Structure 1
Amino acid sequence: MTSIVSAIIVLGILIFVHEFGHFLFAKLFGVGVEKFSLGFGPKLIGKKMGETEYLISAFPLGGYVKMVGEGGGDELSDEEKARSFGEKSPLRRIGIVVAGPGFNLIFAWFVFIAVFMVGVPSATTKIGEVVKDKPAAKAGIVAGDRITAVNGKKVDRWEEMATEIAASKGPSLLVEIKRGGETKAFQLKPEMRTGKNLLGETVTSPVIGVVAAGETVIDRYPPGEAFSRGSVQTWNVIELTVLSLVRIIERAIPLDTIGGPIMIAKMAGQQAEAGGVSFLAFMALLSVNLGVLNLLPIPILDGGHLFFYLWELIFRRPVSMRAREIAQQVGLALLIGLMVLAFYNDIARYLVGNG
């Protein structure tokens, strides 16, 4: 139940942010908005305020903003034409389309900044296990030691220590540790390990054979540093998302890693149980994914509409209705195929498998 409620909260917030971006820019550019819906399908509840009907619909996997002139079939008065989406310049239509994914990225940026201000848990350099016959064990390092420096550079967080070890180019490392009240230094030769990274790439990196004790501290940052770290984190997640999509297309990352609603619900529940900061970070991560995916040049998605309006802006004429219809059909088929794959993976992972 926690997973379902958490997923509804996350998706509800992210869908609202996305559709609010479209809604706000439509209003700014003088476009009338007939409907603002969280969810698709049959209306559950709704209230009309001014010209806009605000809805919560049955299927919470998306949402939509219906603007004046969209959908066709209705004769528009001169006043309605002036406020219709199709009558606006390509640049304004581009602004309205980009605003949805853009708001998701901006929202993630704000959340990451807030996370760094509230405080993020960081593992200390206390060692919980030393792997037998690995460089650290051979040098004399033992469980309970706390690493204080690598090659003369002070470290007090596990990530800092791992970064220094990974960045080392020489045949040996000078590792300083604290054991009780005593400080010791060990010269050791790292072992090169080959494996796959998050993008499915084969990487070789130096390791010394130690496992973190799991001791954590909360690192809180002042607004200025939180702004900087949040900005870097947002960019890193955007970059990772784009590269992951490229690697999936290249088949470097297997298709069975793609997840759907069940995976989102399960992860949302796990992050909610882990605490508010983890839940917020997960929501920011998902918001970046939603923003980037919606900018893909696939008809049906915002990126597909963006492509059409950029074409119109460059060539001074709109894409033909026939071409748009064919593209929409292809886009719909691709989207349905992706959804089927995601549902299949979810079922295989969580219902058939042991996930």
Structure 2
Amino acid sequence: MLMTVLAFIVTIGILVTVHEWGHYRMAKACGIQVLRFSVGMGKPLLRWRRPGNETEFVIAALPLGGYVQMLDEREGPVPVGQEHKAFNRQPLRKRVAVVLAGPVANLVLAVLFFAAVNWWGMQAPLPIMATPESGSMAVQADMQQGDHVLKARVGQSTDWEDIPSFDVLNWVLSRAALEHQDLQLLVQRKEGAQVTLTLPLAQLQIKDWDDATRRQIGVLAPMAAPLVADVLSGGAAEAAGLRAGDVVEVVNGVPVHDVTQLMALIQGAKTTDAAQQWSVLRDEQIVQLHVLPRLREVDGRMRGEIGARLGSSNRYETALVRYGLWDGLVQGAKRTWDMAALTLKMLGRMLVGEASLKNLSGPVSIAQYAGQSASMGMVEFLNFLAVVSLSLGVLNLLPLPVLDGGHLMYYLWEAVTGRPVSPVWMQRLQTLGIAALLMLMALALVNDFTRLLS
């Protein structure tokens, strides 16, 4: 819990500081006087002012935002002779630059964080396929257990993308599915032959990238040994005599090659009356066991479970994925561009009902992911920071009146008509924007707690 809270505070602190720093630096570059730079909202906890600098720096009590307060005749009196430093007196191009600088700073930070992950490198599972889900799209495309995915091509693109890890494959797969585009995969079979497979993802009419969608496609996890990693007290595995470290060889006469296949055999149990016949390798000897899975309803259907943790991350075949200075930066920029484009598309689809509103996440989910990624190590935490920074940058560009994107819409109106939005309409739009933002926040919180409880 402490790790989660600390990781969340660090995440919000870094991303808000960078966002507001973008506004601050651009305002200073445009000759605008900045009165306050606040990280956090509400009552100030710390405040200081550097000698020779008119800006007061503040750390406030509520770590859910921040702001840069500039000299502005609409918000208070401006000293005589200082009018040229007021924000509202600036030409349109400078006001646009100041507003745009915050989201751009977050997007640049995302590129740098993704690049840092690429430069640092990480041990990642190779994209060697586990047994595809029975009846899935992968089976229909002739994907086989042990296929090593080398390259992928999305939709009508003529460029093949290298797939160095299963994480990259999962990202490309999710992107293609959510954009309703077919995916071609160049795979190397266990015997060495290379073949091209096509997953017709354009046929899928999905609204969520969830477990049900992944099962429908059939690509669930990289290949891993069918190992019993841990046995839970009181479960069917303990009752059957399974032990941590057992490697499952055969279930009901079916040879078991990987943990995904094993989980499918367990979950496919239809009755609690007939035990499964298991052959497990234990201390270099084959042991015969009778395992009776217990049925539980999950997502509207009954699934078998045995009360054991199966597989282990160190059973994956991994490789160090690392890029050089330039390639790492290019890959970071590409990932930022692709994720930003997908985020905007998903928001648009949610608006017209083509994507589920369950995709929205709020502060509770962010805190959870922050804690989980921080506990996994610096590389995972940097990757998480990149994703959240990117999301913050994109969301702030949405045309909601209270966000940076809303102010840009005001300036677009001013550029087209030659006059600013009237104070009356400004007030109406601000009220509407606050209401819309509160509704989105409420929905995100509902989604957060629904995930937490489930």
Whether TM-score is above 0.5 comes out as: yes
Match of 1:94 among 93, 96, 110: 96
Which amino acid letter does the alignment assign opposite residue 271 of structure 1? S
Which amino acid letter does the alignment assign opposite residue 189 of structure 2? E
Question: Within the alignment, does 1:347 sit opposite 2:452 as a pair?
Answer: no
Larger C-alpha radius of gyration, 1 or 2? 2
Distance 1:6 1:287 in 2: 14
TM-score normalised according to structure 1 size: 0.82
Distance 2:395 2:195 in 1: 47
Partner of 1:52: 55
* 3-state SS of 2:47 partner: strand
Alignment check: 8 A CA contact 2:11 2:370 kept: yes
- Shift of residue 233, structure 1, vs aligned partner: 0.8
Distance 1:333 1:94 in 2: 24
Which amino acid letter does the alignment assign opposite residue 118 of structure 2? F
Which amino acid letter does the alignment assign opposite residue 276 of structure 1? M
Match of 2:223 among 209, 212, 220: 212
Distance 2:200 2:336 in 1: 31
Partner of 2:252: none
Partner of 2:431: 329
Question: Within the alignment, does 1:69 sit opposite 2:72 as a pair?
Answer: yes
- Shift of residue 348, structure 1, vs aligned partner: 2.8
- Shift of residue 337, structure 1, vs aligned partner: 1.3
Distance 1:122 1:14 in 2: 27
1:257-336 equivalence runs, <5 A: 257-336=359-438
- Shift of residue 215, structure 1, vs aligned partner: 2.4
Alignment check: 8 A CA contact 1:101 1:290 kept: yes
Distance 2:390 2:163 in 1: 31
* 3-state SS of 1:30 partner: coil
Alignment check: 8 A CA contact 2:119 2:324 kept: yes
Question: Within the alignment, does 1:33 sit opposite 2:135 as a pair?
Answer: no
Which amino acid letter does the alignment assign opposite residue 184 of structure 2? A
Alignment check: 8 A CA contact 2:134 2:218 kept: no
Judging changes above 3 Å, is the alpha-carbon distance between structure 1 residues 210 and 191 closer, same or farther for their aligned structure 2 residues? Answer: farther
Judging changes above 3 Å, is the alpha-carbon distance between structure 1 residues 229 and 60 closer, same or farther for their aligned structure 2 residues? Answer: same
Partner of 1:116: 118
Identity %: 33
Q: Point out where structure 2 has 5 or more consecutive residues left out of the alignment.
A: 152-159, 174-181, 225-315
Distance 2:40 2:379 in 1: 26
- Shift of residue 306, structure 1, vs aligned partner: 1.1
Partner of 1:176: 189
Partner of 1:79: 81
Judging changes above 3 Å, is the alpha-carbon distance between structure 1 residues 116 and 209 closer, same or farther for their aligned structure 2 residues? Answer: closer
Distance 2:409 2:383 in 1: 31
TM-score normalised according to structure 2 size: 0.65
Partner of 1:107: 109
Structure (1/2) with the larger helix percentage: 1
Distance 1:259 1:267 in 2: 11
* 3-state SS of 2:82 partner: helix
Distance 2:388 2:196 in 1: 41
Distance 1:320 1:156 in 2: 54
Which amino acid letter does the alignment assign opposite residue 400 of structure 2? I
Distance 1:133 1:71 in 2: 64
Distance 1:203 1:77 in 2: 62
The range that moved more, 114-123 or 278-287, is 114-123
- Shift of residue 155, structure 1, vs aligned partner: 8.0
Give CA-to-partner distance per residue, 1:16-64, whole Å, 9 cap, x none.
Answer: 0000000001101111111100011111111123311111111111100
Report how many residues are paired.
337
Give CA-to-partner distance per residue, 1:258-302, whole Å, 9 cap, x none.
Answer: 121111000111111222111111111111111111111111111
Judging changes above 3 Å, is the alpha-carbon distance between structure 1 residues 184 and 210 closer, same or farther for their aligned structure 2 residues? Answer: farther
- Shift of residue 132, structure 1, vs aligned partner: 6.8
Partner of 1:13: 14
Query: Which consecutive aligned stretches of 4+ in structure 1 deviate over 3 angstroms post-superposition?
Result: 125-136, 139-142, 145-150, 153-163, 183-211
Alignment check: 8 A CA contact 1:107 1:284 kept: yes
- Shift of residue 120, structure 1, vs aligned partner: 3.7
Which amino acid letter does the alignment assign opposite residue 61 of structure 1? L
Give CA-to-partner distance per residue, 1:293-333, whole Å, 9 cap, x none.
Answer: 11111111111111112222232211111111111111111
Distance 1:348 1:94 in 2: 39
* 3-state SS of 1:61 partner: strand
Distance 1:95 1:80 in 2: 21
